[in-house]
Structure 1
Amino acid sequence: MSTVTLATPVTLRGSHATLVPLSPDHGPALAEATRDGELWNLWYTTVPSPEGMAAAIAQRLTLQQTGSMLPFTVLDASGKVVGMTTYMNIDALNKRVEIGSTWYAAAVQRSPLNTECKLMLLTHAFETLNCIAVEFRTHRLNTQSRRAIERLGAQLDGILRAHQRAANGTLRDTAVYSITAAEWPTVKAHLDWQLQRPR
């Protein structure tokens, strides 16, 4: 009998988006998606450049083989590739995952797509994988990302000061957020409401 683990590939389907297991075949379409907004030029986050996309995919799939990451390609409602997201820093013993390494083409940013992607990932984490907590991490100065995480209902756990060195050589303070299993029913109701309200 097969067992679903925190790193078992899965497809998650919604009305605005579908999350499919990342594949090298998605490389050209992902490279095109990242050109929408030239996302790799944002200094406070790490988004693969078109030229670096194949290597980024290979790195994520290698981490998947070790059981520490489960990467997804994000499709919009029409089936077009528009971004990437992952379960990362998987802690199978303590049933914790981080949702991160997420980016979307500029055309779908600030749309219902991100909310639905997070709802699908959180639902799978809490209701199928029985996680006790899901984390989100971002640069302290990435205000757009921090607002998006807070809109989900995640709470700030704290700031890891001088946590990492960014690509431009500066030190990154990392804002750490989480949602716990006990909070999930309320957060889920909030996300469902966000998706259903008129825009």
Structure 2
Amino acid sequence: MAATPLAPLPLQPVTLQGDLVALVPLATGHHDALCDAAHDGELWRLWYTSVPAPEAMAAEIARRLALQEAGAMLPFTVIDRRSGRVVGQTTYMNIDLAGPRLEIGSTWYARAAHRSGLNTEAKLLLLGYAFEALDCLAVELRTHFMNHQSRRAIERLGARLDGVLRNHQRAKDGTLRDSCVYSIISSEWPTVRSHLTWQLEKPR
């Protein structure tokens, strides 16, 4: 009788670190620092984002950690290495280890981290680990159709638009969200890696 293949093991928490940013496993002890980061810019007030408000931060941390326990998410706290301050969150989510493939999402940053190179390096670290350590076939990135800033940022990474999931989700204000689905596939990763590295190294 042929042996039954073993199910893939869930992802284990890992720290990813570059020159500008450290991505550390999310912990309940990050609550106050994440609240401070969310206050910078009050981005939760934008109707088309899912940035947690400070009063909802404890529930959001619990949600992400519960999904980690279930093997469906690997959440990170984002730390600016220059200041040592917590500046946001990001995750591996919608994890399919049979592929393997996953999505980078549920990402937000304090306003001070915008246009700083921090997101570029964070994506370089996340994509590098996904393709080089986890051997992913593809990595997805999704955003609200109306979030044009996020769409431009994803496109600058080198991701390609696969399509739009219409009426994909209900937004926090009750409206229906169309989700733009982008991806980078494994054969594209070397070019994307070179592009992101150049973005980080070019004079600003």
TM-score, normalised with respect to structure 2: 0.94
* Structure 2 residues without counterparts, runs of 5 or longer: 1-7
Contact 1:18/1:74 (<8 A) preserved? yes
Instruction: Tell me the equivalent position of 2:122.
Output: 117
Contact 1:119/1:191 (<8 A) preserved? yes
Alignment of 1:57 with 2:61, yes or no, is yes
Give 1:168 shift. 0.6
In 1, distance between residues paired with 2:9 and 2:113? 30
Give the length in aligned residue pairs. Answer: 196
- Provide closer, same or farther for how the CA distance between residues 108 and 11 of structure 1 changes in structure 2, counting only shifts above 3 A: same
Alignment of 1:160 with 2:165, yes or no, is yes
Instruction: Tell me the equivalent position of 2:191.
Output: 186
Instruction: Tell me the equivalent position of 1:37.
Output: 41
Instruction: Tell me the equivalent position of 2:85.
Output: 80
In 2, distance between residues paired with 1:120 and 1:157? 23
Give 1:7 shift. 2.1
Secondary structure of 2:146's partner?
A: coil
In 1, distance between residues paired with 2:106 and 2:11? 15
Aligned residue among 129, 143, 146 for 1:138: 143
Give 1:5 shift. 5.1
Letter in 1 for 2:90: T
In 1, distance between residues paired with 2:9 and 2:40? 34
- Provide closer, same or farther for how the CA distance between residues 14 and 139 of structure 1 changes in structure 2, counting only shifts above 3 A: same
Instruction: Tell me the equivalent position of 1:24.
Output: 28
Give per-residue Cα distances to partners, 1:77-108, cap 9 Å, x unaligned.
22210000000000111101100000000001
In 2, distance between residues paired with 1:166 and 1:7? 29
Instruction: Tell me the equivalent position of 2:5.
Output: none
Instruction: Tell me the equivalent position of 2:154.
Output: 149
TM-score, normalised with respect to structure 1: 0.97
Q: Which moved more, 1:6-15 or 1:59-68?
A: 6-15
Contact 1:6/1:129 (<8 A) preserved? no
Letter in 1 for 2:68: Q
Across the aligned residues of Structure 1 and Structure 2, the Cα RMSD in angstroms comes to 1.0
In 1, distance between residues paired with 2:98 and 2:84? 35
Aligned residue among 68, 73, 82 for 2:72: 68
In 2, distance between residues paired with 1:129 and 1:6? 11
Instruction: Tell me the equivalent position of 2:96.
Output: 91
In 2, distance between residues paired with 1:105 and 1:83? 6
Letter in 2 for 1:106: R
* Structure 1 residues without counterparts, runs of 5 or longer: none
Secondary structure of 1:151's partner?
A: helix
Letter in 1 for 2:150: S
